[in-house]
Amino acid sequence: MSTIAFTNAQVFYAGYEFTSQMNRVELTFEVEALDNTVFGQTTRTRTGGLKNARATEAGFWTAGVGGIDDVGFNSVNLEDAVAMIFPEAITEGSTSTGSGTMFKVSQSRYTFGGAVGELLPLTLELMGRGVIA
C-alpha cells in the first residue's frame, strides 16, 4: 500500500475550475443499509439499498463573475451540474492514466464566513444526482 500527500487536486464544478480557490475536498460514496431481518434471526441482517454520493469542497471566498461566490450563490439548488474532482493534476492534451471522479450533482449548501483578519473561508456541499457508477 502506498500513501500520497494530497497536494495537487483539481476541482471543477458547473463548468468552472476552482482549483486555485479550494484547499480541501471530500468525496463520500455510500449505500443505505436496509434492514431485512426476519423472524427466527437473533441478529439484524442488512442489504444494500440506494446509493448516494456527496462532495464537500472548501476554500477561500472570491468575488466577481466566475468567482466562487458568483457560482456558489447562484448555484444553490442547481440541478444536473457536473462536479469533477481529480486527486492529481491533469494537463490538457496529456495521456495520463490518472483517476478522477465525475458525477451530476445538486448543490444543497453554500456557506461562507469567518473571523476578522482571516481569509474568508467557504464551503460548498454537492449531493449526487442520477446514476452513480
120: CATH: 2.40.30
Evaluate whether residue 109 is within a structural domain. Answer: yes
Sheet containing 16-17: give its strands across.
Answer: 16-17, 10-13, 81-86, 101-112, 121-128, 46-60, 22-35
**Residue 1, pLDDT above cutoff 60:** no
Mean pLDDT of 6-22: 83
In a domain, 2, yes or no: no
Domain holding 93, by residue range, is: 10-128
In a domain, 41, yes or no: yes
Domain count, the chain: 1
Model confidence band, residue 43 (pLDDT cutoffs 50, 70, 90): very high
* pLDDT 10s digits, 87-130: 776 666 666 656 788 888 887 888 888 899 998 898 988 888 87
- Is the model's pLDDT at 9 over the cut of 90? no
> pLDDT above 70 covers what percent of the chain?
86
Q: So what's the pLDDT on residue 8?
A: 80
Beta strand ranges found along the chain (DSSP E)? 10-13, 16-17, 22-35, 46-60, 81-86, 101-112, 121-128
